Structure 1
Amino acid sequence: MMLRSLSADFLKIRGKGIWFLIFLAPVGLVAMQALNFGLRLDYLKKQYADDLWGGLISNVVIFVPIALYLGVTLVSSLVANVEHQMSSWKQLLALPISRTAVFSGKFTLCFLLLTASCILLPIFTIVLGLALGFGTDIPLGDILRMGFFPYLGALPLLALQLWLSLTFRNQALPVTLGVAAAIMSPFAMQLPEWFPLNWPAFGYSGPHASWFVGAGIICGAVIMVMGMIHFNRKDVE
């Protein structure tokens, strides 16, 4: 039943610009570093002479949490807005499909869309490194960790954003919350490492990265279940 809901949701987002956003985020991050390295290539090659690929990854990864928070916010809001703008909640929930399947389908849709973006980021990073002449000794493990570990650490915000976006017809609250999280995330590093906004960053570079990844998965699952329970009991307008 959830697969039926997911299939319908994929059809609904056609022409909504979401796929363009999914492609734009990794392209933007890598293009920013292409400009950075392109303008200062000789200097940065000297600075990272011992590990050119590591230097490239470190320059990309510092912007990944910000991109994740903005991406999670926009994707959740756009997916929820498909139903809000069409005022189709009553028709949707009148179908022989459970509310649990509807909520699960939309969460899975957001998760898959953002996963696609996280797949593209390592690919574009490798292309940039090769184009800059960093050699073929590619640290594939580090690049894949850069693409996925911060994302897993950000799953609680994805679950929360989807919950809020589905709950409120006016998207001002969830969008404001997501943008505020993105803006605050670089400054959150001054706070204790277990502050939730730090989980994506420490999920990649922390001394116990797997702890933050695990915390993101577990906390994200808990918030998703809470959102699902609330959605099952919520009155539909």
Structure 2
Amino acid sequence: MEYALPTAPGPFIQLGRTLVADALKLRRTAALWLALGGGALPVLLNLLIFYFKGQYFVKPGTNPWPMYVGMSWQTASVLLLPLFVVLLSGLVVNLENRGGWRQLLAQPVSRGAVFGSKLLLLLGLNAVAQALYVLLLLAAGVLLGWLRPDLGFQNNAIGLLPVLRMLGHTYVATLGILGVQYALALAFRGFVGPLAVGIAGIVSALTLLRWEHIDLVPYAAPTRILRLLEGDTQLSVAAALSPAEWYSLGWFALAVLVGYLLLLRRPVTD
């Protein structure tokens, strides 16, 4: 009697199983809490600024929402958002750098599933964090309407379409950083190396903001898209992608390819 060997699961089944396993590893980790609470700091800072000093930013009788959203986005995008992506990428991959790669790569799943699972996890956590930031931002504006009725938040409205457009632009602008940091996390054997490169990239981007080719630098993209915010009385955001976003997508594609090749070459004994 002949017995057929069990067939390996399909690539999508392998990816699904690996993704579930990676998601379960995140429970009670700093990466999960960073994604859930990372957007709270810039919102809290601007809530305090407008609560104590709002009269200096909002002219009487004008709509305070455009100024509030613009200042809040600037606070988040210039430094905190790039740093968040750097930390998130390093923390997710560092779960395996502490000895888990040997066990993970010995499992009956393809390296493509391992790579894709962590990439999808990073993309999802980044999306969740930015969506939560927008929800907190709008909720804090409503709260300011109760706490500081003289500013006029409760008497004016904010269009959701410009906010959602800006959310989309911001997400695309962070993809270049995410891809580069993911590849760096796969290249290094610890958390410090990718973190140091990421901080150096952020500082360099802020230093070179007046450079004519700054759009080429992925760490500057979240800051560069702030130019899309327009309007003093009604918030307006262009729908078309900016040059910085296109370069961010290019960096993401290149970094994903490099990261995948790095994982393919990683020995099981690591």
> TM-score, normalised to structure 1's length?
0.90
Tell me the percent identity: 27
**Greater CA radius of gyration, 1 or 2?**
2
2:174 pairs, out of 131, 147, 154, with: 154
| 1:112-138 CA-partner distances (Å, limit 9, x unpaired) | 111101101111111111222213521
Answer whether contact 2:89 2:122 (CA < 8 A) is retained. Answer: yes
Gaps of 5+ in 1: none
Match of 2:263, as an amino acid? F
Answer whether contact 1:164 1:174 (CA < 8 A) is retained. Answer: yes
Greater shift in the superposed pair: 8-17 or 65-74: 65-74
Task: Name 2:74's counterpart in structure 1.
Answer: 62
1:223 pairs, out of 247, 252, 255, with: 255
Q: How does 1:75-114 map to 2 (within 5 A)?
A: 75-85=88-98, 87-114=99-126
Alignment of 1:131 with 2:143, yes or no, is yes
Answer whether contact 2:185 2:194 (CA < 8 A) is retained. Answer: yes
Q: In structure 2, the residue corresponding to 1:190 is in which secondary structure?
A: coil
Task: Name 1:234's counterpart in structure 2.
Answer: 266
Q: 2 CA distance for matches of 1:204 and 1:108?
A: 26
Task: Name 1:13's counterpart in structure 2.
Answer: 26
Answer whether contact 1:165 1:174 (CA < 8 A) is retained. Answer: yes
Residue 6 and residue 122 in structure 1: after superposition, are their counterparts in 2 closer, same or farther (change >3 A)? Answer: same
Q: 2 CA distance for matches of 1:35 and 1:7?
A: 39
Greater shift in the superposed pair: 36-45 or 194-203: 194-203
| 1:161-181 CA-partner distances (Å, limit 9, x unpaired) | 111112212222210111223
Q: 1 CA distance for matches of 2:241 and 2:66?
A: 17
**CA-CA distance at 1:209 after TM superposition:** 4.0
1:165 pairs, out of 185, 199, 212, with: 185
Match of 2:250, as an amino acid? I
**CA-CA distance at 1:91 after TM superposition:** 1.7
Alignment of 1:203 with 2:225, yes or no, is yes
Q: 1 CA distance for matches of 2:208 and 2:23?
A: 35
Q: 2 CA distance for matches of 1:201 and 1:213?
A: 11
Q: 2 CA distance for matches of 1:71 and 1:159?
A: 13
Gaps of 5+ in 2: 1-13, 146-152, 229-237
Match of 1:107, as an amino acid? L
Q: In structure 1, the residue corresponding to 2:112 is in which secondary structure?
A: helix
Q: 1 CA distance for matches of 2:179 and 2:108?
A: 25
**CA-CA distance at 1:203 after TM superposition:** 3.0
| 1:142-199 CA-partner distances (Å, limit 9, x unpaired) | 2223333123112122111111112212222210111223334433321224232332
What do you get for the CA RMSD once the two structures are aligned?
2.1
